[in-house]
Amino acid sequence: MPRSEDSVRRVFLAVDLDDEVRHGLAAHLGSWSPLPGSSPPPANWHLTLRFLGKVDEPTYETLLAKLDEAELGPSFSLSFGGLGAFPRAARATVLWLGTDAGSDALGGLAAAIEGAVVEAGFMPEERPFHPHLTLSRIRPPQDVQSLIESVPSFPLRQAVDHITVFESILGRGPAAYVPLEVFELD
Ligand code: 2AM
C-alpha cells in the first residue's frame, strides 16, 4: 500500500536544459555571481510551462493520458535573451533570463499543454504565459536595473524536443525537482 503522502505530488511541466546550456549559463553569469537574492542551484534551472501544484494519483494518471494524446507540435530551437525581472526592474522579486527566437513556438507549446491540462480537469491558467528561466528570488525587492543592463545576452540555444513532468519536493534548502515523465515533440 502506498503511504497517503505518496499519492499526492507537487507537479509542474517544464523544458529542462541540456548540460551544455546549463553549464554555459553558469559560466556566463559567473562574473555577476552571486546574484542578488536566493538563487536555485543550476541543477534546478528550467523553463516552467505550467505549474500544477498538488495533484492526486487519479488526476495525475488522467493528466499523463491527456498529455500523451495532445498534439505538442514540432521540435524547435530556443534562443535566450538578456535578464529581466518580475514585477519590474526597480523593485524586483524575481530575476530571470528571457527567451528570444523560438519564444512564439514555446508559447504555442504552453498553449497545447494548457489544453491537455484543462481536459484533465484543472482550472485554466489565468495569467498570460511569460517564458522565463528563474535565476533568483529576491526578498525584500531590490533594484536590479543596472545588473540587467550589464549582463549581455546568453548566446547558446536550447533544442526543445520534449517536455518533462517534474515533481517538486520541498524541504529545507533548495527544492528537489525529480523528472517523472517525458513527452516527445514531433
Ligand atoms: P518559475 O520559477 O519559473 O516562475 C517549480 O516550483 C516551478 O513552478 C517554479 O520554477 C515556478 O516557476 C513555478 N511555480 C512554483 N509555485 C508556483 C505557483 N504558486 N504558481 C505558479 N507557478 C509556480
Q: What is the pLDDT of residues 125-149, one digit of tens each?
A: 999 999 999 999 999 999 999 999 9
Q: Find the 65 Cα to ligand 1 centroid distance in Å.
A: 23
Give first-to-last CA distance, the chain, whole Å: 37
pLDDT at position 6 = 64
The predicted model gives 143-157 an average pLDDT of: 98
Q: How many domains does the chain have?
A: 1
Best of 9, 12, 126, 138 for a ligand 1 pocket test (most atoms within 8 Å of beta carbon): 12
Q: Is residue 1 part of a domain?
A: no
Binding pocket residue ranges, ligand 1, CB within 6 Å: 12, 48, 51, 134, 168
Q: Is residue 155 part of a domain?
A: yes
pTM beyond 0.85:
yes
Alpha helices for 15-159 (secondary structure H): 19-28, 57-69, 103-119, 145-150
Is the separation of the CB atoms in 182 and 162 below 8 Å?
yes
Q: Is residue 41 part of a domain?
A: yes
Question: Whose grid coordinates read 519536493?
Answer: 169
Q: Per residue in 41-69, pLDDT tens?
A: 999 999 999 999 999 999 999 999 999 99
Q: Find the 85 Cα to ligand 1 centroid distance in Å.
A: 15
Residue-number span of the structural domain to which 27 is assigned: 8-184
Q: Is residue 123 part of a domain?
A: yes
Q: Is residue 159 part of a domain?
A: yes
* Residue whose CA is at the smallest distance from ligand 1 atom 18: 51
Q: Per residue in 10-36, pLDDT tens?
A: 999 999 999 999 999 999 999 999 999
Show the CA angle centred on residue 49, arms to residues 48 and 54, nearest 5°.
80
133 CA: nearest ligand 1 atom:
3
Q: Is residue 107 part of a domain?
A: yes
Q: Is residue 3 part of a domain?
A: no
The edge-to-edge listing of strands for the beta sheet with 176-184 is: 46-56, 8-16, 162-169, 176-184
Q: Find the 117 Cα to ligand 1 centroid distance in Å.
A: 16
Q: Is residue 2 part of a domain?
A: no
Q: What is the CATH number of the domain that holds 140?
A: 3.90.1140.10
Q: Find the 48 Cα to ligand 1 centroid distance in Å.
A: 7
